[in-house]
Amino acid sequence: MASGNSDPQRRLTATAVKLLVAGGFGVGKTTMVGSVSEVPPLRTEEVLTSASEGVDDLSGVEAKTTTTVALDFGRITINPDLILYLFGTPGQDRFWFMWDELARGALGAVVLADTRRLETCFPAVDFFERRGLPFVVGVNCFDGAYRYGTEEVRAALDVDQTVPLLLCDARDRESTKQVLVTLIHHVMKNADLVQSHG
């Protein structure tokens, strides 16, 4: 990969787009950024210690030992003219104060959802709806989780029909790429709509 990005001249003229990967605690944000990044992803993982007991809600993700405390960062070249910079958000409520900072300059977002704990992505959906930032919902299919249809998840989340919603596996590069390409198309469609109404 990254071959299309090797020409420095080309890299200067390529469009760089900032995107967020958001969602609740432990839904797979760090995994998603890491699976698709062509550079070693920057991670800010800290071990979950007994100090976080009663603060961090581990129900449903009891096996989790680390958590993102600042951000994840990765990069992917979609084609020689388009480079995506991915910023994964921290998932826990105590890091909410960082979201405004991370969202600055972003053109769109992936909201990752875990069907075992769907309610954990409500705040992310609200955040992007309130700001009018285009987003897609990626339903991360965890092993052993009941597979709901996309329309069932859409109804449960109460997101508009215009918001793309797709099943994915955050560990899988191609699956993650599919989510990002869907987001890019959605962002472009939104930009066209704004232009034609403005």
Ligand X SMILES: Nc1nc2c(ncn2[C@@H]2O[C@H](COP(=O)(O)OP(=O)(O)OP(=O)(O)O)[C@@H](O)[C@H]2O)c(=O)[nH]1
Q: Which is nearer to ligand X, 14 or 170 (CB)?
A: 170
Q: How far is CA 180 from the centre of its chain?
A: 9
Q: Which one of ligand X, Mg ion, none is in contact with 56 (Cβ closer than 5 to 8 A by kind)? A: none
Binding site for ligand X (CB under 6 A): 25-31, 64, 67-68, 90-91, 140, 142-143, 169-171
User: Taking CB under 5 A as the rule, does residue 30 contact Mg ion?
Assistant: yes
CB neighbour class for 139 (10 Å; exposed up to 12, middle 13-18, buried from 19):
buried
Q: Which one of Mg ion, ligand X, none is in contact with 114 (Cβ closer than 5 to 8 A by kind)? A: none
Q: How far apart are CA 171 and CA 166, in angstroms?
A: 15
Q: Which one of ligand X, Mg ion, none is in contact with 74 (Cβ closer than 5 to 8 A by kind)? A: none
User: Taking CB under 5 A as the rule, does residue 176 contact Mg ion?
Assistant: no
Nearest residue to ligand X on Cβ basis: 91
Q: What is the nearest approach in angstroms of ligand X to the Cβ of residue 17?
A: 21
